[in-house]
Amino acid sequence: PRPILDMSYSRHFLDFQGSSIPSFMKKLVVTKLSQNFREAVTLRQDFPVPLPGDGDLLVRNRFVGINASDINYSAGRYDASVKPPFDIGFEGVGDVVALGLSASADFTVGQAVAYLKAGSFAEYTVVPAKQAVPLPSVKPEFLTLMVSGATAYISLKELGELSEGKKVLVTAAAGGTGQFAVQLAKKAKCHVIGTCSSDEKGGFLKSIGCDHTINCKTENVESVLRKDYPEGVDVVYESVGGKMFDLALNSLATKGRLIVIGFIAGYQSPTGLQPIKAEFLPAKLLKKSASIRGFFLNHYLSEYKMALKHLLEMYERGDLVCEVDFGDMSPEGKFTGLESVFRAVDYMYMGKNVGKIVVELPHSVNSKL
C-alpha cells in the first residue's frame, strides 16, 4: 500500500493521517459485447487504482447496486459507438479516501457518499465531486434510491399525472424500482395494484401499502384485471415487456397512460426484445385516447438532484421503505465481493429478489475509516 500523502504522484491529494490505498485493485470490465453477462464481463485483479484530479473524489466502494440495464450496457445496446473494453456498474456507496484540491471545498476524506456513474463495479472509483451525493452514513439503503428510487419518482412525477383515486398498476412490483413505484403512488392517494411472482413477494407488497397483489405464476393477470377493474387502470408502471406489455396495454382505461421503464423479459435474448402485438397499437391507443411514454433516467438528469433530495428526506423520516436484497436466500448465499456480481445478475433474471439487489464489497484496507 502507498500512503495518500505522496506528493510525488499527485500534488492534489490531501492528507488523511493513517489511511493508505493499495496500488492495484479488482474491477469488472466489459471485454466483449454479449447479452450473456458472464461472457461479456471479465474480473480484472490487477487494475491500477485511479488517481483523482483536482475536482474529483476517490471513493472506496462499500456497496454497489445491480440493475437490469447492466445487461443492456454490457451487450452494447445503449451506445453502439462504445467499443470494449469499458467500465460497468452504474451506482455505488462508499467512503471518500482521497480527493483533489478543488473537491476539498465541499468534501472531506472519510465522508460517506453515493454516486451515479459508470464504473462502480470496482473497489475504487473516481467520481467528479459535483456528481457525488453526501450521505449521513454508508448504508446500502441509500443505494436503492440512486437509480431505482429516482426512476420511479421522476417518471411518475413527469409522466404519470397521478392524482387521488387513480388506479395504478405496477408490474414486477416487488423489484428494485417497483417497490418505490408502489409507495410513491400510494403517497399520491392512488389505488395500487402490483404484479409479482410469489406469495412471499405479495406479502412484502402488502406490507408497503399495495392494495391488490396479483401472483402472475398462480393467477391469470388479464382475467383478474378484467374482473376487478372492468373500467381499466389509469396508469401502468411497466418494466417487464413481452406478454406483460400487451396485457398492460389492453388493461388501460380511457385516457390511460402506460410508462415503459424497461422490458426485462427481453434483455437476455440476442435482439433484446420479445415480440409484442404492435400492429394493433394505433387502433388500441385511438380507441381509448391512451398513450405510451418511454422513460430513460439519463434524459431527466435535470430533475435528478431534486428527486434524490426528496427521496433521502422521506427515507430519513421513516416514510419510505428501501428494501435491500443481499442474496441471502440465493443458492450460494450473500453477495459479497466483486466476483459475486455475476451471481447477483443471474439472481435478478431468475426473478427471485425482493427489493433492490446490492453487493457488498468488504475491504481489509489498513485505514481508520
* pLDDT tens digits along 195-212: 999 999 999 999 999 999
DSSP 151: H
Of all residues in the chain, the percent with pLDDT exceeding 70 is 93
Of all residues in the chain, the percent with pLDDT exceeding 90 is 82
Annotated domain spans of the chain: 9-138+323-360, 146-299
Task: Grade residue 19 by pLDDT with cuts at 50, 70 and 90.
Answer: low
The confidence score (pLDDT) of residue 319 equals 98
pLDDT tens for 53-87 read: 889 999 999 999 999 999 999 999 888 888 999 99
Write down the CATH number for the domain with range 146-299.
3.40.50.720
Write down the CATH number for the domain with range 9-138+323-360.
3.90.180.10
Mean pLDDT score of the chain: 91
Decide: helix, strand or coil at residue 298.
Answer: helix
Task: Grade residue 17 by pLDDT with cuts at 50, 70 and 90.
Answer: very low
The confidence score (pLDDT) of residue 369 equals 38
**Closest C-alpha to 179, from 194, 165, 199, 158:** 194
> Do 176 and 145 meet the contact criterion of CB atoms below 8 Å apart?
no
pTM comes to: 0.91
pLDDT tens for 124-165 read: 999 999 999 999 999 999 999 999 999 999 999 999 999 999
Spatial CB neighbours of 22, under 8 Å, sequence gap ≥ 6: 1, 2, 49, 365
